[in-house]
Amino acid sequence: MTVALAWTRKLTEWTEELVFVTDSRYRGGDQNFDVCPKVITLPRSDCALCFAGYTGHALPMMLQVSEAIGSFDRATRRSQDLAPLKTHIIKIFNKMSEDIVKSLMSPHAQDPLPEASFLIGGYSWINKAFDLWEIFFQKGQGCFEERPARWLTYLPNHKKYGLWNAKTPEALGRLAFIGDQGSAAYAALTERLLSKGTPDRLDWEPFEVVRDMLRADSHCETIGGAPQVVKVYQYMQADPLAVFWPDKKSGCVTLKGRKCLGYERLGRRILDPDTLKSEPWTIPDELKEGDPLSDS
């Protein structure tokens, strides 16, 4: 279970980036584990992949996709564009699904189906634009299928936002979401945008929605931990951002949900969840002495 969103964030008329944000909670039995990666960058560096659903199905599938890309030179060097890569990923998911079988200790259980959905997106050198898809298991067809991310569009006649398959002049950007709390996040996002009037682009609003959901004392049990953020840039590079959590005043830095140790030297920028500005990583002077990562 998860809340996960991905969207195109427009910076200037010619510049944009693709952003992924998720929570950090894995659930199992009667335990929650709130420091777990849900979005990964892939060996080819121009895309990212995140999941929602049952970790026991989704995480092995994501790791096997990463291994498959790393073992195929055309995929690794990015000469294989995103669309054929996405098709290959779906074939891997479908083939792996055949090996999900019921336990012999539960003879009366039904044959299991994969309980996972994914977002895959990155920069296409063929289309000269970001591509983004939702991948979900279609029970009626018995296989994983794709759906291209739709365009978040303001509908002036109805004074509301909607998701359209085609880009229109009123479109703010592409948006996709998955997880049991994905629809709630989308509803909160449209409400937030309406409160701003009629913005002409998506900025950090999807992140703000996930941030506020995770900060709420009454948030759903299926989400938790710090927000995870990965950006994909037009120069075909995907990088995670660290996040101050629960805020910058706490001094706590998280990366993919994990609380970083004070002496760690992260080659990542750190996002302030309130100002939405990022800054380079620095080590406080009092922690430099005795640093186990020191070269001396």
Provide the pLDDT for residue 296: 40
Asked, for residue 75, whether it belongs to a domain, the answer is: yes
Domain range enclosing 235: 4-101+111-149+220-281
Count of domains for the chain: 1
Q: Answer yes or no: are the C-beta atoms of 255 and 36 closer than 8 Å.
A: no
Q: What is the mean pLDDT of each run of 10 residues along the chain (296 residues)?
A: 95 94 91 96 96 95 98 96 98 97 77 93 97 97 97 92 93 97 97 92 97 95 97 97 97 96 90 97 62 52
Provide the pLDDT for residue 205: 98
Asked, for residue 154, whether it belongs to a domain, the answer is: no
Q: Domain holding 56: CATH number?
A: 3.60.20.10
Asked, for residue 73, whether it belongs to a domain, the answer is: yes
Query: Dihedral of the CA atoms 227, 39, 5, 125 (nearest 10)?
Result: 130
Asked, for residue 54, whether it belongs to a domain, the answer is: yes
Query: Dihedral of the CA atoms 77, 83, 89, 93 (nearest 10)?
Result: 180
pTM of the model: 0.93
Provide the pLDDT for residue 167: 93
Provide the pLDDT for residue 67: 98
Provide the pLDDT for residue 286: 58
Q: 125-132: long-range contacts (C-beta < 8 A, 24 or more apart)?
A: 125/46, 125/78, 125/81, 125/236, 126/81, 126/83, 127/81, 130/8, 130/16, 130/18, 130/174, 130/232, 130/234, 131/82, 131/83, 131/86, 132/6, 132/8, 132/18, 132/174, 132/176
Asked, for residue 194, whether it belongs to a domain, the answer is: no
Asked, for residue 142, whether it belongs to a domain, the answer is: yes
Asked, for residue 260, whether it belongs to a domain, the answer is: yes
Asked, for residue 118, whether it belongs to a domain, the answer is: yes
Provide the pLDDT for residue 282: 75
